[in-house]
Amino acid sequence: MLIPHPLLGLRDAQEFTYYGDAALMDRPDPSAETAEADFCDYVFLRDNPAGVHRELWFHEQGDRSWLVVTRNTVTHEILSAELATDVKSRGAK
Amino acid sequence: MKFSGFKVFKEAVTGHKGWKPLWRNPEPKKSYDIIIVGGGGHGLATAYHLAATYGLKNIAVLEKSWLGSGNIGRNTTIIRSNYLLPGNQPFYEFSMKLWESQEQDLNFNSMVSQRSIINLCHTDAQRDAYRRRGNAMHLSGAGGTLLSQADLREMVPFLNFDNARFPIKGALMQKRAGTARHDGVAWGYARAADMRGVDLIQNCEVTGFRIEDGKMLGVETSCGYIGSEKVGVAVAGSSSRVMSMAGMRLPIESHVLQAFVSEGLKPTIPGVITFGAGHFYVSQSDKGGLVFGGDIDGYNSYAQRGNLPVVEDVVEGGMALMPMIGRARLLRSWGGIMDMSMDGSPIIDRTHIDGLYLNAGWCYGGFKATPASGYCFAHLLATDTPHETATAYRLDRFARGYVIDEKGVGAQPNLH
C-alpha cells in the first residue's frame, strides 16, 4: 500500500506504524460524570467497519508525523491522507 | 452412513458407488429453538454439541456461504494447549482432550496427528519464561518438556543454531500438540450435527435481528424471517459486522493474517516448530508441503488477502531459522480475517439482549479451540451458565479489569 503523505507524497505503508481508529484522537473528558464508562468505551470498543475507515498511521521511519488515513478495509484502497494536527485544529474551530 | 474399514473395503471392490452426501440440504423452517449464526468450525461444533452432548432438538446453523468457507478452511492447522494464564490454559487443555477423542466421537477421519510442537528460545530469560509456562501447562495436565540445545540438535538438526542475533538455546515442547485436517474438522462436525437432526442451511445470510423489549425473537435472513428465542453468533472475522446489527460495539478489530504453503517436499520437519523471536512457525503437511505463517499485517482489514511486505517478513524469518528451505518454492499464500480482541483472548458469553449469545474474538488461535469452543458455547446456550473451563471469557471483563492478556501488550489488537 502507498500512503499519499500530504507533505512527502506517496510513501510505502511499511514506513508507517498503524495505531487504529481515528476516533482515538478524541479522548473523553476525565472530569465528566460518566468518565469511567466513557474511558472504558474509548479504550476497548471499536466500530470496526467493513468499508471506509478513518485511521491513524504514524510515519515512524519518515517525518514522524501522525496521519489520518481514510482507507477501505474491504479493498485496501486508500482514499485520502491528512495530517492529524490539521484534522485536530479543524475540529477545534 | 457410518464410516468403517469394512465400508471402505466394500466400496473399493464395488466401484465406490455407495457413498452418499455427508449432510442434507434442508429448506429453513419457520422457527427453531436455537439458531447458530455461522457455519464455520466453531458454529458447527456448537451445533454438534447442542445435539450430541446436551440432547437438544430443533437447531439450525445459518451460513451465508458454504460450510467451512471462513477461517476453518484458511488456517495452518495447528492444535496445542501450551498457554500460560489460568483463564486460558484449562480451556485449551479441554480442547486438546476433545481433539484426542474427536475422530471416534464424530466417526470421521479428521487426521488428528499429535506430532508435537517446539517453541524455540534464545536467551536465559526466555528459557525461564518457558519453564514457567511449562509448569502452568503441567497444572492443567497438558504436559510439557524443556529441551536443551543438545536435544534439539538431535531432533531438528537442520535449524540454524548459531544465528548471530537469535542463537537457539533450547525449547519448550508439548508432545501432545500437532496438526489436524482443517476442512475435515468442519466436515466431521457438519456431518455429525446433521445426523443428529441439525438443519445446516447454506447460502443464507443473516441481515438483521428482530429484538423486542430486549428479547430476541428471531433473525432476518436472505431466505426470509426465521424465528428463534435463542441465537448464538459464531462468525469470527465478521463479529463486529454481525453484532452491529444488534446495536453492539465489540472490543474487537478485524485484521488479516496470511499463511503460506510450499511445494511438496520429502518428510523433513517432524512436528510444529515456532520461532517466536522471528515471527515464524512451520509444520509439514501430510502431502509434504511446508505450511507456515507469521505476523498479521497489522491494519484493519476484511479483505482475506494481505500485502507483500508481510510475505517478505515471514519468509525472512523462515530463512533465518532454517536456511535449507531457501530452494523450496512457494506454492500458495492466502489471508484470513481474524477477530483481534483487546486482550488477545476470546469471548464466549451472553449479551445484554436476552437470547443473544456471542462467541468471538479468537484472534489467530481459533482453530485449535474449535472443539472446546463448540462445547462451551453449547453449554452456555443450553444451560445459560458458562462452562467451567470458560468462566473467564466474559464480555464485561474489559470493563471490570479482568483482561486475559497472555502477551501483556494492552488494548492494542495488532500487537497480540
Q: How much is the average pLDDT of B225-254?
A: 97
pLDDT at B180: 97
Tell whether B238 lies on the interface with A, counting CB pairs under 8 A.
Answer: yes
pLDDT at A92: 65
* Superfamily covering domain B27-78+182-251+343-415: FAD/NAD(P)-binding domain (3.50.50.60)
Contact B173, B192 (CB under 8 A): no
Q: What is the pLDDT of residues B401-416, one digit of tens each?
A: 999 999 999 999 999 9
Interface predicted TM-score (ipTM): 0.95
- CATH number of the structural domain spanning residue A69: 3.30.2270.10
When the pLDDT of each residue in chain A is averaged and rounded to a whole number, the result is 96
Tell whether B249 lies on the interface with A, counting CB pairs under 8 A.
Answer: yes
Contacts of A50 in chain B (CB under 8 A): 238, 241, 254, 302
Q: What is the pLDDT of residues B122-146, one digit of tens each?
A: 999 999 999 999 999 999 999 999 9
pLDDT at B189: 98
Count of C-beta atoms within a 10 Å radius of residue B33: 15
Chain region(s) in chain B for CATH 3.30.9.10: 113-178+253-340
Contact B251, B237 (CB under 8 A): no
Chain region(s) in chain B for CATH 3.50.50.60: 27-78+182-251+343-415
Contacts of A39 in chain B (CB under 8 A): none
Structure letter (DSSP) for residue B324: G
Tell whether A52 lies on the interface with B, counting CB pairs under 8 A.
Answer: no
Asked if the Cβ–Cβ distance from B302 to A43 is below 8 Å, we say no
Asked if the Cβ–Cβ distance from A74 to B307 is below 8 Å, we say no
Asked if the Cβ–Cβ distance from A76 to B307 is below 8 Å, we say yes
CA quadruple B200, B201, B202, B208: dihedral positive or negative? negative
Which pLDDT band, with edges at 50, 70 and 90, does A90 fall under? confident
Asked if the Cβ–Cβ distance from A44 to B342 is below 8 Å, we say yes
- Domain holding A87, by residue range, is 2-28+37-92
pTM: 0.96
Asked if the Cβ–Cβ distance from B240 to A14 is below 8 Å, we say no
Tell whether B194 lies on the interface with A, counting CB pairs under 8 A.
Answer: no
Q: How much is the average pLDDT of B384-396?
A: 97
- Work out how many domains chain A is built from and give that number: 1
pLDDT at B293: 96
Contacts of B398 in chain A (CB under 8 A): 40, 43-44
Q: How much is the average pLDDT of A36-57?
A: 97
CA angle (B375 as vertex; B374, B380 as ends), nearest 5: 95
Contacts of A44 in chain B (CB under 8 A): 251, 342, 398-399, 411
pLDDT at B325: 93
Which CATH number among 3.30.9.10, 3.40.50.1860, 3.30.365.10, 1.10.3720.10 corresponds to the domain B113-178+253-340?
Answer: 3.30.9.10
Closest alpha carbon to B412 in A43, A41, A30, A36: A43
Q: What is the pLDDT of residues B296-337, one digit of tens each?
A: 999 999 998 999 999 999 999 999 999 999 999 999 999 999
Structure letter (DSSP) for residue B354: B
Which pLDDT band, with edges at 50, 70 and 90, does A93 fall under? low
Nearest CB among B241, B303, B414 relative to A76 is that of B303
